[in-house]
Structure 1
Amino acid sequence: MDKFPKGAILPSEQGSTYTTKEFFEVARKKNVIRSMSRMGTPSDNAPIELFHSSLKSETFYINKEPIGSNNIVIDSVENYITFWNNKRVLTKLGHLSPVDYRKKMT
């Protein structure tokens, strides 16, 4: 993936892959903000973990067919993000989608 929106945030754990100098440089060159939980505090990234859990359970886990290509995964994730932001209502947002909630608050 070569195109990232300005200010894109990459949540990750503190594993060796994500803490290498090489990974840091790639993220910096692509203007991606790295976000990690503090050591021993996995709740720091709880919002994105909830999103990932919903994404997997509402898309990939309900499919009986194996995923055939990276393009299918990319399309599924992009479609789900659009759905999540624009259509999926959340109780904590007064039964509004995130986009509708933001519009109402401004």
Structure 2
Amino acid sequence: YRRITLALKNLSFTINHKCVQRLMQSMQLKSCIRAVKYRSYKGKVGKIADNVLQRQFKAERPNQKWVTDVTEFNVRREKLYLSPIMDLFNGEIIAFQLQRRPLFGLVKDMLST
């Protein structure tokens, strides 16, 4: 009824929103409720870390450069989140953590192992 009331006011009709609501109910008119489309992008959130590696993904000795990431997997219609630490010298996985929710504890627990 809100959009109908606004449209009527734009057409220079003076009518109360309650009257529009009552008329719509008596005529069994219902508004279409549209589902809000999900958008994961929220703009800049938090601090962006400095680019320390400068795209140099090779290490000259073990334990010189470690990288980490959080990856989402769908397993049997359920989401799982993997957070590994990888040594760039030989691609070895140093440690990893697997959880059902992508919380900060996922990365924190992985770093403490």
Name the TM-score, length of structure 2 as normaliser. Answer: 0.25
Higher share of residues assigned helix: 1
Name the TM-score, length of structure 1 as normaliser. Answer: 0.26
Structure number with larger C-alpha Rg: 2
Higher share of residues assigned strand: 2
